[in-house]
Chains A and B, each alone.
Chain A
Amino acid sequence: MIPVTHYIFLSLALLTIGVIGVLTRRNVIVILMSIELILNAVNINLVAFSRMFGQVHGQVFAIFIITDAAAEAAVGLGIIIALFRNRETVLADEMDILKW
C-alpha cells in the first residue's frame, strides 16, 4: 500500500498547477479548465482517504464533486458563449465592464 502522503503531494501539485492557471491565464476557457483541474486534485485526495479508511464515503463525495464540475462546466461554458457572442473575446481581462 502506497502511503497516503504520496497522493496528497500529487493532489497538491495538481491543485497548485490549477491555481496558477486560474491566476495567470487570460483565456477564460483555460481558466475554466484549470478549475476543473483543481476539482480533480481534490478528488484524488478524497479517494485516497476513502481507501485509507476503507470506506466508500470519500468516493461518494468525489462523485458529487464530479456532478458539481459538470454543472459548473455547463454554466461556465454557457456564460462564455454568451460573452463571446457579445464581446467577441475569450480573454478574461478584456471582460472588465459589468454591462454592455
Chain B
Amino acid sequence: MTDTHIERVPGVSSTVLGADEIILNMGPQHPSTHGVLRVKLKLDGERVVESECIIGYLHRGVEKIAEHRSYQQFAPYVDRMDYVAAVSNGLGYCEAVEKLLGAEAPIRARVVRTILTELQRIASHLVWLGTHALDIGALTPVFYCFREREEILKIFEKYCGARLTTHAFRIGGLQYETYDGFEEEVKRFCVDFEHKIDEYSTLLTENRIWVGRTKGVGILSAEDAIALGVSGPVLRASGVAWDIRKAMPYAAYDLYKFEIPTAPSGDTYDRYIVRMEEMRQSRLICLQAIENIPAGPIMARIGKVLKPPPGEVYHSIEAPKGELGYYIVSDGSTQPYRVRVRPPSFINLQAFDRMARGSLVADVVAIIGTIDIVLGEVDR
C-alpha cells in the first residue's frame, strides 16, 4: 500500500461504492499535477465531492530573499517564480521598480520588451497546450508545441544567453542591444507560427474526444471568477474582457492593435479556445512591433546604485497566466523593505475547488491543466 496516497476516513470503512467517501491524495508526486501540487480529493465513487489544494512543496521564500538583496540583485530571482514565463516576471519587476524610481525605460527598450514578452507568452501558452493535451491523453501535441517553443527559446538565447531563466531586462531598460538578425528571426517565426497554430487546431479543436473531454468541464461563471479574483485567460474564458495590456497599458502595448479574446461559457474548452486565440494575437503584436523598432538608447539614466525614495508601489502586468502584480515598499535604502508578489497561478488555483466539485477524477486532471499553474509561482 502506498500509504501516502491513501487515507481513510477514520472510523468509517471506506469503499468505492459511495456508501461513504474515500479520500484520494493526488500528488505531490503525480504525473499530472504539474509539479508538486497536492490535491486532496474527497470522492464519492469517482465523483469529486470536495477538494483541497495543498501547496508549499516548492516554497523557497522568494519574497523574503528580496529583503536582503539590492533591487538589481533581486531581479534574477523573479525569473524562478513562473519559470516557463521568466521574461514576463522580469518585465513586471523591472517596471515596478522603475515606477518606484519615477523613471521610465526608453521607447526602444519598451518595444523590445514588448516583443520578447509576447514571444514569452506564446512560449508559455505552448507549454500549457502541450502539457494540457498530454494530461488529457493526446501524446503528440506536446512535441509540436515544444518544437515551436524551441524557436522562441533560441531567440532568447541569442538575445541574452539564457533560455529558461533569462533575466532579459534590467531596471531602467535593457542591458543588451538586439543582436543582428533579431528582427528577421522574430518575423520569420511569427510568419511561420500562423500555420503551426492551425496545425495544433487541426489536432484538437474539432476532435470529438477532445471536445467531449473539455466541453462543460470545470465551469467557472463570470461572477465566481471575479469574486475569486481570477485573472488572465481563465477570467476571459468566463466572458470578462479584462486585460491589463488594454486596461492599464504598460511597456509599449498602447502602440499596437490587438483584441482581447473572450469566450462565453467558462469551461475547459473555452479556456483552450481563448489561449489559442491569444497566441494568434501575440503573434500579431510581435509582427506589428517588429516592423518598426524605434532607434535610440536602450537604458534610462538611473544611476548604478538604486535608492528609490521611501514609499510603496503596486504595478501589475498581464503575464501569460493572468495578472502578475508586484507590491514593493521602499524605505529609501538600496534594498526593498518588502516585496509582495501577486502571482496569477496562486490566485487562479483558488478557483480549483469551484471548478472541480461534481466532476470526475479524470476531469480533475483536465482542470488542473486548464488553470495553467506553475508551482514555482504558486509556492514562491
| Chain A in direct contact with chain B (Cβ < 8 angstroms) | yes
Total interface residues in chain B, CB < 8 Å: 5
Tell which of A15-23, A25-33, A37-45, A81-89 binds the partner. Answer: A81-89
Using CB atoms, name the residue of chain B closest to A87.
B19
Candidate in B13, B15, B18, B19 with the most chain A CB atoms within 10 angstroms: B19
Tell me if B17 counts as interface (CB < 8 A to partner A): yes
Q: Within 8 Å CB of B17, what residues of A?
A: 81, 84-85
Whether the pair B18, A88 counts as a contact (CB closer than 8 A) is no
**Closest-CB distance, A95 to chain B (whole angstroms):** 15
CB under 8 Å from chain A, chain B span 1-37: 13, 15, 17-19
Would you give the shortest CB distance from A100 to chain B, in whole angstroms? 14
Q: Which residues of B contact A81 (CB under 8 A)?
A: 17
**Separation of A92 and B17 alpha carbons in the complex (Å):** 19
For A85, list chain B residues within 8 Å (CB): 17-19
Closest Cβ of chain A: how far from B38's Cβ, in Å?
Answer: 30
State A84–B20 Cα separation when bound (angstroms): 11
Against B, the Cβ 8 Å flags (1 = close, 0 = not) of A74-100 are: 000000010011001000000000000
User: In the complex the two chains form, what is the Cα distance from A88 to B17 in whole Å?
Assistant: 10
Least CB distance from B14 to A in Å reads 11
**Bound complex: CA of A88 vs CA of B13, how far in Å?**
9
Which residue from chain B places its CB closest to the CB of A88 in the assembled complex?
A: B19
Distance of A84 Cα from B14 Cα, bound (Å): 12
Shortest B88–chain A CB gap in Å is 51
* Distance of B20 from chain A, by nearest CB (Å): 8
Residues of A within 8 A of B15 (CB): 84
Distance (whole angstroms) from the CB of B19 to the closest CB of chain A: 5
**Minimum Cβ distance to chain B for residue A49 (Å):** 42
Docked complex Cα distance between A13 and B318 (Å)? 78
User: A84 vs B15: C-alpha distance in the bound complex, in angstroms?
Assistant: 10
Encode contact with B along A51-93: 1 for CB under 8 Å, 0 otherwise.
0000000000000000000000000000001001100100000
Name which residue of chain A comes closest to B18, CB basis.
A85
| Alpha-carbon distance A13/B375, docked complex (angstroms) | 64
Chain A: CB-nearest residue to B12 = A88
Query: What distance in Å separates the Cβ of B11 from its nearest Cβ neighbour in chain A?
Result: 12
Residues on the A chain within 8 Å of B13, using CB: 88
Q: Give the residue name and chain of the A residue nearest to B15 (CB).
A: A84
Interface flags, B222-243, vs A, CB<8A=1, else 0: 0000000000000000000000
In the complex, what's the smallest C-beta–C-beta distance from B44 to chain A, in angstroms?
Answer: 12
Bound Cα distance from A85 to B18, whole angstroms: 7
Closest 7 CB pairs of A and B: A85-B19, A88-B19, A85-B17, A84-B19, A84-B17, A88-B13, A81-B17
Q: Which residues of B pack against A, CB within 8 Å?
A: 13, 15, 17-19
Q: A85-B19, A88-B19 are in contact. List 7 more A-B contacts (CB 8 A).
A: A81-B17, A84-B15, A84-B17, A84-B19, A85-B17, A85-B18, A88-B13
Q: Would you mind naming 9 contact pairs between A and B with Cβ atoms under 8 Å apart?
A: A81-B17, A84-B15, A84-B17, A84-B19, A85-B17, A85-B18, A85-B19, A88-B13, A88-B19
